[in-house]
Chain A
Amino acid sequence: MFSLQQRIVQARREFLTTSASGLGLAALGAMLNADDATNQLTTKTPHFEPKAKNCIFLLQAGAPSQLDLFDPKPKLNELHGKPLPNEMLEKVRFAFIKKESAVLMGSSRKWTKHGECGMDFSDFLPNIATCADDILMIRSMFSEQFNHHPGQLLLSCGRGTFGLPTVGSWLTYGLGSESQNLPGYVVLTSGRGSSGGSSLWSSGFLPSHYAGVVFRNEGEPILNLTNPAGLPPEMQRGGLDAIRLLNESRYSEVHDPEIASRIASYELAFRMQSAAPELIDLQGESADTLSEYGIGRSQHPQATGRGNVANAHLSFARNCLLSRRMVERGVRFVNIIYEAWDQHSDLDQDLRYNSWVVDQPIAALLKDLKQRGLLDSTLVVWGSEFGRTPLGENRNGREANTGRDHHPFAFTLWMAGGGIRGGQVYGETDELGWGVTKDPVHINDLHATMLHLFGLDHMRLTHRKQGRDFRLTDVGGKVMTQWLA
């Protein structure tokens, strides 16, 4: 049979492939050779040579208006105030729009082409626009979910239902974590809570190792990271030593390998207690870096709307920088959630503010990653559950149309780094931005391609539950080879 030491090594191997991940086991002294263990065992082998090692997913929950940020439609401005032809209205659903009186709403944005590729951006995103040549702009996304929560589930899990693992869970399940002492799958939030809540970082039917670990904006970065009041590290250590000895003694009685897992998990927890605070401590970052990300910047003079909650402009900037620090430390998947974009009204003012919140930090992140040589192996995705409609929202009782309704038929999502060929616009929508006219992309296709970049075949990354082999891409998904560098 196995010795306890072998068991702990084995347990450690299992931890290192999970989100609540591997910590060096120096504390166990001669029992283990931590370096050996980590070098061999931290990661699982992908199906083929990967391009990307890490992913930063900038989840812009609430559905930003592609028509005012990424997909200019002169014709829409021309037809401003005119109704949409009846035959188009007949077959569609809206959340709030009253079909009888709905009219098209032009965009008041100014558009310029950027980069050598000449990619369009509206004047709300001047900084991200400077990264145009690194960006793959996909204008032909579509979804079949109409409401925020099911839509966010589809974007996170490949299907608009509960109980499924999220992208980050699948990646850590498929590849393990490279981090020695941090979770492999981390969630950062800014502003208000999202429609999807904790279902957006659930591990679904996969074990809870693969769930996202929320890093908090205030207080201890990970729940329960701080020792109880009055308990110094040396007493924590002393307690852990006693716990270990007692667990070992029980192991010698009952030989249950779960005890080895327990011992290893306590050691890993102890290491996490120092690694996580080190991660969030920005003192080592230069003043230039901090100011590029917009950390500590003052509030926008016209701060307004749903995005202006809990100092989102500060936490979003900080989360972008933290995501780079996490990538440097081997965190596999970082999900930054900013639920701010549901502009049923006051589109112009609110979008201006939200764009201001995200524009500078995201551009800084892309440039920072690039400058450190991390962009090639870090996939950055900016996206949301759906887009917004070219019609103004004439919800009952509204004097004027100042917002747009949900629009799953055509929306924009962009990616950079991680093996993506930047400087290209993919897919087209019609003159009004209503439907996709060329190269439609389903979220399953997006996921298939994301997995592909990580060296994983979406058809082979499966988990059997209740007799079915589930995959991230549900029953669809094709790899978009045109996107690859």
Chain B
Amino acid sequence: MMQPFLILITFAITAPFIVFSDELPPAVDRKIDFANDVEPLFAKHCVTCHGNEKQEAGFRLDQSESAMLGGDSGKAIVPGDSKQSRLLHYVAATDQDKIMPPEGARLSANEIGILRAWIDQGAVWPDGNAKGSQRNSHWAYQPLAQHTPPQVNGKEWVINPIDQFVLAKLETQGLTPSPEADRPTLIRRLSLDLTGLLPAVAEVDAFVSDSTPQAYESVVERLLDSPHFGERWGRHWLDMARYADSDGYEKDNPRPDAYRWRDWVIDSINSDMPFDQFSIEQLAGDLLPNATSMQRLATAFHRQTLTNTEGGADQEQFRVEACFDRTETTGAVWLGLTVGCARCHTHKYDAISQREYYQLFAFFNNGDELTWVVPKSDDEIKQYQESLASHAASVALAQGALREAQKGIGPAMAKWESELQSRIVQTKETPLRRESLVDLQVTGDSGVVFTSVADGSFLVGGENPDTATYTVQGKAGVGFDTLRLDVLADKALPAKGPGRTPHGNFVLSEITLEVSESEDFVSPKLLQFDLAKADHEQSDRPWRAKDAIDGIDKTGWAIGAQYGKDHWAEFHLKEPLPASKLLFVRIRLSQQHGKQHTLGRFKISLQSGAASPDLPKTIAKILSIAAEGRSEAQHQELLDHFSGLEPTTKPLAEKLIALQKKEPAKPELSARVIGQRIKEPRRTFVLRRGEFLEPVLDAEVKPNGLATLTKMTSVKEKELGDRLDLARWLVSRDNPLTPRVTVNHVWRTLFGTGIVRTANDFGVRGQPPTHPELLDWLARDFIESKAWSRKTLIKQIVMSATYRQSSKRRLDLMEIDPQNQLLACQNRLRVEGEIVRDITLDAAGLLSRKIGGPSVFPLLPPGIAELSYNGNFKWVISDETDRYRRGMYTFFKRTSPHPNLITFDCPDANLTCVDRNKSNTPLQALIGLNNESFAEAAQSFAKRILGSRSTADDESSIESAFRICLARRPSDREVLVLLNLLAKARVWYAEHPDEAKALVGSMHVQDIHVQENAAWVAALRAFINLDEFITRE
């Protein structure tokens, strides 16, 4: 009845063995000589597509090593076994879909016979025939050239070598550079570029009036030293790292620890960690000798990948997906290459074979996703140490007081002890009896498997279902009145158990006990429990032991957050088991909470008799020792225990205990990081078309770099292969791409476009550099003289005359160089989305300058967070101070990011972003005009201007608004435009007091009439909507 299932085939896992039909022409019967017989055939039929120029399907037949390695589909030549050699089957066309060569003359039967014989004879490929090993000629793969800055005519313009390169090119075109921008423009440009904030009016004034030769340089240095420098340049790095505060995909759960790595980036950039070290720590910090917790934290760079926790998702699929992302992000960020194309096939344009892609992938394939405990911040650790010391002092004080009071309680204690001792004697007479069932058997549903442990407990394995019921059966002795359940920690369980959720919890929904006289439980009798207790009960809902005997599946006993420890619960029977005979007993442990809240290791026993008085273990032990035999410390411990019971000392004892409990917690958190997998390391295979279920089993790859770049070596005495080797290779002196790409990123940030304008593509499809000599000079200088120091590089660029040029577009360049590739002027750049917010708040006097810490929740229009899946996300607006933090601290929810950020082209953090788009849309205009945050900023800006003015002179107020927002003074015409607007607003609000109140909101300036205040809000809001305001000129 079944039809063939066409689509299923695409889901079939690749068969582990290649089965070829035996239709090959026979091998020729003679000894084959490679150079005479075989190489000419390859040359004639194959190497056009599989040679030095092109390597279709990642395969080349002009050198022995590559030929033997095979291509995207796996091994092509199996020496000694022509039947298993793909090459033969392709040329013999045994499969109509795979015929080589695809065009032109096919090989004759005799030629195939020669190849067959060659392979069967061992596929000998003598040395000296390894031709075609020359490098790819594309500019970006060539070593960094050594260029001397060229001679120029206009020497007086030159400040540093950058200018020589730029000017030389301009001079060949007969062009002159633009004049230096005026000082207000320069300081605003520098402040925005280096810190993303506006210069203060006083800073502008100081710079304008500073006539010393170091005036400019000292501004540069002040800004490079500013802690906000790390925020600004860190944000560029976060783009590349696809940093966000949530998992991504459907559930998109928050990542409350993500900010910790973001702060690491800010700190590292502020302390100018050299870029090579910065790279190594992020790619392989965990593998450094004696790795510090900060170095491990650095590896969170590659934990910014998405996590899919959607129900029913195959975790292996998304693990592989994350490794793809790590591979491709690494390629984009350090090499400027789109290695991603080679995930499915050998790159069509760039020298990256599919095999090489998986060589890179192999580095990440054995990086596991772990967490690592790290200090929240240096400041918090410092504070902690201080409060710890002061806490210790208060404890000592309280302890002293208690000791003093204890002097008078000796007699009372003696009486207490003698009563207690007589109770202990009693319990010895009817001691606690606890036994396992006889002929114990345990069964479960849902594919779980039980392993019996020597202590009588069972470890649960096999399937890990969402819910389960275990049944324990056996014979019971007589007279028991309590069922005891021990749940035990075990290393084999997630988070050591005792439950089977990833964090070690379980919910025992119901426990029942039935007895029967017959083994097959005909008409069993269900016994009733009347009491239940446990050593620990999860308190949030609550999850008490008695909830496991209430007959309701929804409730039950759970042990959060005391995971990884043993616990017990006891269930007391209303009536004890009959004392007369042995009965069959059946206990059901029903666990219906779902999400794998099931028991991982447990022990069932029955018990009766009196337990000893409920004493802490250590106290019970001390009491068992005769008074004379107790040590000083034991005596004191007993005394302290009793002090808590004795009314005269109880308050002091409790105070001490309460104080001890208040010991400050170390400010630490668990950060998501990468750690090397050591146990059962994964092998890496080429994946057919990038499908995680389709490894090409005869194409196993070892970690390695790209052949077209420098050879990768391992510094350790071991096989090549961990991320540390990769990281060191990326920043090795012989790899020209990393320094070129990195200086280009910096250049792009300071000029709007890079020297290579396709900052994300240094491959053959990208644009070549506009100033190749300058790029190489900068790159070489960066790694040699500057020892990878980012700040020094940035300083050099911003010090140049080229950077300082005016950004006014020149009429003489419009035709010759419309894109300003020659750099005869600076570029005007719209600031990035976060900075639009920052400078608006800054001008308004609202901005909080706090650096780092958990991400925050500024104003968000209603209905945005709700667009995320299942409305599982609540956006609770942060308190006063955190409401006005910089844009980069806004909590970034991947499936529902803040619209003010996204509308201004902030990347969505799903993939690495090397180069942001810069659009200019009506939705942006609507934000500036109407968004609540911006409207509030306008109110506050008016308050700032009106509150600080010394005279009620409109013109000077307008002038200070200009100076705050734009650093410069206005022209008369500009003042006039605003005076007109102000006048209109005064007229309108004079007649509309209610609207005036609404417009001013909570920012009414004392002593100013609300209608007047409103007129100013209406006028000043123009500033935050000016093109010039959100533009760095």
Contact = CB atoms under 8 A, between A and B. Distances in A.
Interface of A: 1, 11, 15, 18, 20-21, 23, 75, 85, 88, 91-96, 98, 100, 142, 144, 146-150, 162-163, 189, 192-199, 202, 205, 207-209, 211, 213-214, 216-219, 222-232, 234-236, 238-243, 245-247, 249-250, 253-256, 258-259, 261-263, 265-266, 268-269, 272-273, 309, 339, 395-397, 405-406, 409-410, 430-431, 434-437, 440, 464-468, 475
A343 B908 CA distance: 30
Nearest to B931: A224
A466 B761 contact: yes
B895 A199 contact: yes
- Chain B CB count within 10 A is highest, among A144, A250, A261, for A250
B870 A468 contact: no
A269 B332 contact: no
Contacts of A85: 2
Contacts of A465: 760
26 contacts: A23-B922, A91-B8, A98-B447, A146-B313, A192-B870, A192-B871, A193-B895, A195-B250, A196-B250, A205-B917, A207-B919, A214-B867, A224-B931, A225-B930, A246-B1026, A249-B974, A254-B807, A255-B809, A255-B811, A268-B925, A396-B468, A397-B468, A430-B3, A435-B4, A440-B6, A466-B758
Contacts of A205: 917
A388 B887 CA distance: 43
A223 B293 CA distance: 44
Contacts of B708: none
Interface in B813-836: 814, 828, 830
Contacts of A437: 3-4, 6
Contacts of A226: 930
Contact of A239 (B317, B760, B932, B1018): B1018
B921 A265 contact: yes
Contact of A467 (B249, B763, B999): B763
A467 B919 contact: no
Contacts of A199: 895, 908, 910
Contacts of A149: 249-250, 308, 310
Contacts of B108: none
Nearest to A437: B3
Contact of B809 (A219, A231, A247, A256): A256
- Chain A CB count within 10 A is highest, among B863, B997, B1033, for B863
Contact of A397 (B594, B871, B927): B594
Contacts of A197: 252, 867-869, 894-896
B2 A397 contact: no
Contacts of B249: 147, 149-150, 195
Given A91-B8, A265-B921, A395-B466, 5 more contacts: A192-B871, A199-B908, A216-B863, A230-B994, A259-B1027
B669 to A, nearest CB: 27
Contacts of B828: 254, 256, 258
Interface string B917-960: 10111111111011110010010000000000000000000000
Contacts of B842: none
Nearest to B911: A163
A183 to B, nearest CB: 8
Interface string B1-40: 1111111101111000000000000000000000000000
Given A223-B861, A230-B999, A467 B6 contact: no
Given A239-B1018, A467-B764, A198 B908 contact: yes
A88 B446 CA distance: 22
A230 B908 contact: no
Contacts of A256: 807, 809, 828, 1031
A240 B917 CA distance: 26
A148 B250 contact: yes
A199 B1033 CA distance: 33
Interface in B237-255: 248-250, 252
Contacts of B981: 238-239, 241-242
What secondary structure prevails in chain B residues at the interface with A?
Answer: loop
Contacts, number: 319
A239 B999 contact: no
B314 A146 contact: yes
Interface size class of B (residues with CB under 8 A): 35 or more
A198 B465 contact: no
Kindly list the 7 A-B residue pairs having the minimum CB-CB distance in the complex, ordered from nearest. Answer: A95-B312, A197-B895, A230-B999, A230-B998, A467-B765, A397-B467, A162-B910
Contacts of B998: 229-230
B150 interface: no
A24 B973 CA distance: 28
A92 B1026 contact: no
Interface stretch (B381-389, B739-747, B897-905): B897-905
Given A193-B867, A199-B910, A466-B338, A406 B312 contact: yes
B922 A265 contact: yes
Contacts of A223: 861, 864, 899, 923, 926, 931
B853 interface: no
Interface string B968-1003: 000101100110110011001000101111111100
Contacts of A150: 249, 308
B341 A193 contact: no
A334 B995 CA distance: 37
A28 B204 CA distance: 36
A246 B977 contact: yes
Given A230-B997, A254-B808, A224 B1027 contact: no
Contacts of A20: 921-923
Contacts of A195: 249-250, 310, 869
Contacts of A273: 926
- Chain B CB count within 10 A is highest, among A11, A20, A96, A339, for A20
Contacts of A259: 1027
Contacts of A395: 466
A430 B5 contact: yes
A189 B896 CA distance: 14
Given A242-B980, A467-B350, A435 B7 contact: yes
Contact of B917 (A75, A208, A272): A208
A255 to B, nearest CB: 4
B8 A208 contact: no
A88 B866 contact: no
A315 to B, nearest CB: 12
A217 B867 CA distance: 11
B465 A396 contact: yes
Nearest to A144: B10
A258 B1027 contact: yes
A282 B924 CA distance: 28
B1026 A208 contact: no
Contacts of A261: 920
B811 A247 contact: no
B501 interface: no
B1021 interface: yes
A213 B870 CA distance: 21
Contact of A231 (B1, B3, B895, B1018): B1018
A15 B922 contact: yes
A240 B4 CA distance: 67
A272 B306 CA distance: 36
A236 B807 CA distance: 31
